[in-house]
Amino acid sequence: MTDIKSLCVFCGAAVGDNPAYAEAARALGHMMGQRGIKLVFGAGHVGMMGIVADAALAAGGDAIGVIPQHLMDRELAHDGLTELHVVESMHVRKQKMFDLADAIAVLPGGFGTLDETFEVITWKQLGLHDKPILLIDTEDYWQPFAELIGNITRSGFARGNHADLFALVKTPEELFDLLETLPESHASADPDKF
């Protein structure tokens, strides 16, 4: 298996309107805790963020949160984390979460989740890292995103195969199955490149 010791999880500060979203977050957190894989996330105690963190911690895992000062109250920072990093901006938050993780998983979420996901995919396209990026496509949530990326490529605004940048999986189980088949990443994050 690829040597994944920490997984950055991008997900919503809300739970959405389908109970399957929360169940996927709970299952992912539980599996991470069981496997001893550290959770790196946006530090919120609400929505999908709270569910994945609670599940990881309940399964004996570590949860490392990164949150900007201006969101401490709005997103209700989780008070039971292994580590909490309070940073000065959203930009610093994304960079810190990325730096602390060996791979990225994306659960359903809103505009912030999209922002985070597009940024790490762009960094990968530019050759700044080679970390696995896996979108958990619960109830086909990420199908429109995959179609948009396909259209960007077909329309000549991106080269290559977007499958080289990220993968869609249906469940957290499939995420871990896929991680086991991936080769070691050979391009580590270099903060000076960003």
Task: Return the pLDDT at 41.
Answer: 98
Taking residues 156-175, what's their average pLDDT?
A: 90
Count of CB atoms situated within 10 Å of the CB of 165: 17
Rounded Cα–Cα distance for residues 61 and 55 (Å): 9
Q: Is the dihedral of CA 16, 30, 50, 95 positive or negative?
A: negative
Per-domain boundaries in the chain: 6-180
CATH number of 6-180: 3.40.50.450
Report which of 134, 27, 25, 53 is spatially closest to residue 67, judged by C-alpha positions: 53
**pLDDT of 115 above 90:** yes
Task: Return the pLDDT at 191.
Answer: 45
74 compared with 188, residue with greater pLDDT: 74
Task: Note the helical H segments in the chain.
Answer: 19-35, 47-58, 90-99, 111-125, 143-154, 172-181
Residue 185: pLDDT band with limits 50, 70, 90: low
Mean pLDDT for the chain overall: 91
Which residue type occupies 130? Answer: D
* pLDDT tens per residue, range 78-94: 989 999 999 999 999 99
Task: Return the pLDDT at 75.
Answer: 61
Taking residues 102-107, what's their average pLDDT?
A: 98
